[in-house]
Amino acid sequence: MRKATQRKQARRNDRTHRAAPHVPEPAAHIATPSLHEAPRTIASIVHRTTMPVATVGKFVDDTIAAIG
């Protein structure tokens, strides 16, 4: 009787003192570029979209101005 009670208590303690599961970082945080990488990132995004070259330059300049 006593051993069974001790086993139950040990199992209960294991569950309550177990470390919390690792929570992964949110994807948005990982995907956010730092400020010095911003121009290159913006340029690559713009390059993948269809936009006239003159508009691309203005778009990148405006975006960099808005960020920093």
What the block records as the tokens of 35 is: 């400020």
Residue 12's pLDDT is 73
Residue 20's pLDDT is 64
Residue 5's pLDDT is 84
Which residue, among 35, 42, 32, has the nearest Cα to 63 in the 3D structure?
42
Cβ atoms of residues 63 and 43 within 8 Å: no
Radius of gyration for the chain, computed over Cα atoms and rounded to the nearest angstrom: 27
Spans in the chain with pLDDT lower than 50: none
At residue 28, what is the residue type? Answer: A
Backbone phi and psi for residue 25, each to the nearest 5 degrees, phi listed first: -65, 145
Residue 3's pLDDT is 83
Residue 17's pLDDT is 62
Cβ atoms of residues 67 and 35 within 8 Å: yes
